[in-house]
C-alpha cells in the first residue's frame, strides 16, 4: 500500500468547488441563421410544399392555395404587380417551411451522429445459461436476431449488441456515443446501475446482459426518431392554438369573400390578386409559420442538454409544473457526508484536534475520511508529514467491523496512538485504555446528531498514560452551492419544491431548512412517493420528479413529468417520459425552465403575430378603397405612395418578418423567473406593442423602396 501521506496531495475537491463541466454534445456550430444551414434546409422546405404536407398547417395551406390562385391570375393577366405579389406569396410559404426545416435539420444532424453508432454487431448469445456457471455454451448471431429475454456475454473491447440489464458481472462502459461524455461509467448486476444501451462499448471485464428490447426498437432507434422529429406529436396547447388560428383564418377568409360583392356594388371591384393579398395580410401567418418550429426547437434545446423527451407533451407539461419532487442525495446534497467542523473538548486546542484528526484519517480511504484530510489541510494549513516522522508508523485502516481508523507512531518516549471513528467505537477504545469520555463529549455528540449530522470522535493514547478524547468531527451531508437560490427562483415562479429522502425526520428537517425547500418527505418508500404524487394531482397540480431505480418506475409513470436517469434501470427509463443522458438529477430544474421558455415563446410570438396584422390592415384597406371613398385616405397614416406599393409592401413585410423571427423561434424568448401575471404584462408590452409598431415602420421603409419600381407605383 502506498504511503497514506500521499492522500494529502490527491484529496478530493471540497464541497462547493466546481468540478469539470460535462461535455456539451451535438452543438450546432455557427449562428441560428448560418447560411450553410439555411442552404442545407432549403430542399426540405421545398419538399414541404406538397399540399398533403401543407394541409396539416391550415394557415399556411390557405397561403399556398392563394399563391396558386395568384399564379394562375398572373399568367392570364400579367403585370409587374401581379407577379410581384405572386412571388412574395410563394416566398412566404417557403420561408414558413424553412423555419420548420431548419429546426428539423438541427435534429437530423444529431440523428446522423447517433446513426454512426449503429453497427452490424455480432452477439455471443448464451445457451442454457445459469448464474455463476463457469462453463458456458455460446452461439454467434447477428444483433438484429436477438429477442426479448436473450442472454449475451460481452467482454472488454466488444460492442453491447442491444439494450438490456446486466445480470452478472461488473464492467466499465464507454457511453460517449450517446451522452458525449468521455469518462466511462460502471455497470453492474443488481441495484440501480444495471441498464446498458446497445451500441455502447465495454472497456474492461466481462458482463452477461439480458436483452430487454426488440430489434429496431432500441434506445438509439428511439433517440433517432425523436431528435429527427419523426416521433414528435403535437401537444394539447399546440393543437388548441392551431384550432384558434384555423378559426381566425376561416373568419377572415369569409370576410374577404363577402367583401367582393360589396366592393362591386360600390363600383370598386377588386382583382383576385388583391383579395388574396388581403387574406394573407389579415390571417395570423407569422405564428402559423413558426408554430411547428417553436415546438421542435423546444425539444431540440432539451437534446442539446442531453435530455430526451419522449413526447412534446412532456416538454409542455414541464412548463406548467406546480410541484417538484427532488431526491435529496445527489440533487440537493452532494451525497457523501463531509467534514465541516472540528469541535475540541476538555480544553484541547482546535489546531491540535485538527492535527490528530488528519493524522488518524490518512489511512481512511472512505469519502468521509478524505474530507477530514481536506478540511484540516485547507482550514489549518496542515500538509504532508516528513518521511522521517512517518517511516515507522503502523497504519490502522478503517473497516466496517472496527468503525475506526488511525495510526500508531513509534516515538522516543513510546508509542503514540491516535484513533478516529464512530462515537461508540472510539468511546469503547478510550475506556479500554483507562480513559473517560465525560459529559462534554456526550453533549457535543448529541448536538451534532440533533442537527442531522454525523459525529466522529478523535482520541489519543500514549504509553505510560491513559487515553483521552480530543474532540469531535462534525460530518454533514453538504448542500450544493447555489441550490437555495435556485429554489427561491422556483418559488417566484409559483413552483413548490418537496425533498424526498430516506433519512429520519430530524435529519431531513435540518437539510430541508438549510436548502430552502418548501416541504420534505422523510423515510420515503415507493408507496409514499406514489401517494404524494396522487395527492398533489388530486388538487389539480402537475408534478415532476426524477428517479433511477426499478422501485421509482411506478412514481415516474404517475408523474406528469418523469425524468429517468440514464444510469438507472431499463424499467425506470421505460416508465419516465424523459431520460437524462448525463444522469444529473438537478437537471430537472433546467427542464422546467425550458418548458416554461417554450410556452412563453409560443405566447409571445402569437401576441406579436396578431398585433402586427393591425398595421397591415391600415396599409391595405385604404389602398383598396381610397379611390371610391376618399375619406378612407385618412386611414393611410403611413402615407404610402400608391395602392399597389402599399399592398406589395405589406406582403413583402409579411414574408420577411417570418425570416426575421426564425432565430427567436429556435432560440426561445429569454426566460426570467417571475409570476404568470408579470410574464403576461411583459409579453403585452414587448411583443404586443412591438407587434403594433414594428410593421408600421417596416412597411413604410419597404414602400420607400417599392415606389421606385416600375409597375408598382
**Cell numbers that stand for 541 in this block:** 397540480
Pairing of strands 561-565, 578-580: parallel
Residues 6+ apart with CB under 8 A from 195: 163, 164, 165, 166, 187, 566, 567, 568, 569, 570, 572, 573
The strand pairing partners of 546, in sequence order, are 563
Pairing of strands 164-174, 201-211: antiparallel
**Cell numbers that stand for 712 in this block:** 408598382
**Cell numbers that stand for 414 in this block:** 513510546
d(CA 533, CA 542): 9
Say how many Å lie between the first and final Cα of the chain, rounded. 91
Residues 6+ apart with CB under 8 A from 705: none
Instruction: Please identify every residue annotated as catalytic.
Output: 327
**Cell numbers that stand for 350 in this block:** 482546535
The strand pairing partners of 174, in sequence order, are 201
d(CA 594, CA 668): 9
d(CA 645, CA 626): 14
To which H or E segment does residue 537 belong?
A: helix 526-538
d(CA 549, CA 569): 6
Contact 631, 621 (CB under 8 A): no
d(CA 552, CA 576): 9
To which H or E segment does residue 43 belong?
A: helix 35-47
d(CA 613, CA 408): 85
d(CA 465, CA 449): 31
d(CA 282, CA 253): 9
Integer-rounded Cα Rg, in Å, for the chain is: 34
Secondary structure of residue 326 in the 3-state scheme:
strand
Contact 695, 651 (CB under 8 A): no
From residue 198, how far is each of 160, 165, 305 by CA, in Å? 5, 11, 21
Amino acid at each position: 500500500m502506498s504511503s497514506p501521506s500521499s492522500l494529502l496531495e490527491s484529496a478530493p475537491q471540497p464541497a462547493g468547488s466546481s468540478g469539470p463541466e460535462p461535455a456539451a454534445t451535438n452543438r450546432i456550430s455557427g449562428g441560428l441563421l448560418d447560411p450553410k444551414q439555411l442552404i442545407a434546409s432549403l430542399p426540405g422546405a421545398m419538399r414541404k410544399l406538397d399540399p398533403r404536407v401543407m394541409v396539416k398547417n391550415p394557415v399556411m395551406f390557405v397561403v399556398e392555395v392563394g399563391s396558386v390562385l395568384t399564379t394562375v391570375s398572373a399568367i392570364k393577366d400579367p403585370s409587374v404587380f401581379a407577379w410581384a405579389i405572386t412571388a412574395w406569396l410563394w416566398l412566404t410559404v417557403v420561408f414558413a417551411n424553412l423555419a420548420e426545416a431548419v429546426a428539423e435539420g438541427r435534429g437530423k444532424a444529431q440523428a446522423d451522429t447517433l446513426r454512426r453508432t449503429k453497427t452490424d454487431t455480432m452477439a455471443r448469445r448464451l445457451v442454457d445459461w445459469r448464474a455463476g456457471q463457469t462453463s458456458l455454451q455460446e452461439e454467434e448471431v447477428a444483433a438484429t436476431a436477438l429477442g426479448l429475454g436473450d442472454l449475451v456475454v460481452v467482454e472488454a473491447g466488444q460492442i453491447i449488441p442491444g439494450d438490456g440489464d446486466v445480470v452478472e458481472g461488473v464492467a466499465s462502459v464507454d457511453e460517449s456515443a450517446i451522452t458525449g461524455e468521455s469518462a466511462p461509467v460502471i455497470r453492474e448486476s443488481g441495484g440501480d446501475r444495471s441498464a446498458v444501451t446497445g451500441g455502447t462499448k465495454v472497456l474492461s471485464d466481462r458482463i452477461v446482459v439480458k436483452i430487454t428490447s426488440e430489434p429496431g426498437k432500441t434506445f438509439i432507434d428511439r433517440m433517432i426518431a425523436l431528435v429527427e422529429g419523426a416521433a414528435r406529436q403535437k401537444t394539447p396547447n399546440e393543437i388548441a392554438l392551431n384550432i384558434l388560428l384555423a378559426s381566425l383564418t376561416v373568419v377572415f377568409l369569409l370576410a374577404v369573400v363577402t367583401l367582393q360583392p360589396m366592393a362591386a356594388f360600390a363600383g370598386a371591384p377588386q382583382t383576385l390578386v388583391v383579395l388574396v393579398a388581403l387574406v394573407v395580410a389579415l390571417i395570423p401567418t407569422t405564428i402559423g409559420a413558426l408554430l411547428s418550429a417553436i415546438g421542435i426547437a423546444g425539444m431540440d434545446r432539451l437534446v442539446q442538454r442531453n435530455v430526451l423527451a419522449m413526447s412534446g407533451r412532456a416538454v409542455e407539461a414541464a412548463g406548467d409544473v406546480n410541484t417538484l419532487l427532488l431526491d435529496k442525495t445527489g440533487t440537493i446534497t452532494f451525497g457523501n457526508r463531509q467534514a465541516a467542523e472540528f469541535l475540541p473538548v476538555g480544553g484541547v486546542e482546535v489546531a491540535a484536534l485538527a492535527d490528530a484528526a488528519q493524522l488518524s484519517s490518512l489511512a481512511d480511504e472512505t469519502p468521509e475520511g478524505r474530507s477530514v484530510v481536506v478540511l484540516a489541510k485547507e482550514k489549518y494549513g496542515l500538509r504532508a508529514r516528513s518521511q522521517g516522522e512517518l517511516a515507522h508508523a503502523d497504519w490502522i485502516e478503517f473497516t466496517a467491523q472496527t468503525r475506526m481508523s488511525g495510526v500508531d507512531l513509534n516515538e522516543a518516549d513510546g508509542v503514540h496512538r491516535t484513533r478516529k471513528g464512530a462515537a461508540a467505537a472510539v468511546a469503547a477504545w478510550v475506556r479500554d485504555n483507562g480513559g473517560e469520555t465525560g459529559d462534554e463529549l456526550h453533549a457535543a455528540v448529541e448536538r451534532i446528531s440533533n442537527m442531522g449530522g454525523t459525529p466522529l470522535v478523535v482520541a489519543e493514547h500514549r504509553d505510560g498514560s491513559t487515553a483521552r478524547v480530543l474532540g469531535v468531527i462534525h460530518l454533514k451531508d453538504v448542500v450544493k452551492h447555489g441550490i437555495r437560490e435556485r429554489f427561491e427562483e422556483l418559488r417566484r415562479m409559483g413552483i413548490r419544491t418537496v425533498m424526498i429522502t430516506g433519512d429520519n425526520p430530524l435529519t431531513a428537517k435540518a437539510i430541508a431548512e438549510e436548502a430552502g425547500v418548501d416541504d420534505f418527505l422523510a423515510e420515503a418508500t415507493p408507496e409514499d412517493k406514489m401517494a404524494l404524487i396522487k395527492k398533489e394531482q388530486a388538487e389539480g397540480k402537475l408534478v415532476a420528479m426524477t428517479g433511477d431505480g426499478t422501485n421509482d418506475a411506478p412514481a415516474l409513470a404517475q408523474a406528469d413529468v418523469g425524468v429517468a436517469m440514464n444510469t438507472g434501470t431499463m424499467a425506470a427509463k421505460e416508465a419516465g417520459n424523459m431520460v437524462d443522458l448525463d444522469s444529473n438529477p438537478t437537471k430537472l430544474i433546467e427542464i422546467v425552465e425550458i418548458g416554461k421558455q417554450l410556452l412563453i415563446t409560443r405566447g409571445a410570438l402569437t401576441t406579436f403575430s396578431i398585433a402586427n396584422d393591425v398595421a397591415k390592415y391600415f396599409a391595405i384597406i385604404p389602398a383598396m378603397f381610397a379611390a371610391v371613398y376618399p375619406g378612407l385616405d385618412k386611414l393611410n397614416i403611413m402615407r404610402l405612395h400608391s395602392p399597389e406599393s402599399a399592398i406589395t409592401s405589406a406582403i413583402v413585410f409579411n414574408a420577411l418578418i417570418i425570416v426575421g423571427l426564425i432565430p427567436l423561434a429556435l432560440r426561445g424568448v429569454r426566460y426570467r423567473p417571475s409570476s404568470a401575471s408579470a410574464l403576461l404584462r411583459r409579453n403585452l408590452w414587448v411583443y404586443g406593442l412591438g407587434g403594433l409598431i414594428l410593421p408600421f415602420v417596416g412597411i413604410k421603409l419597404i414602400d420607400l423602396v417599392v415606389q421606385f419600381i416600375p409597375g408598382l407605383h
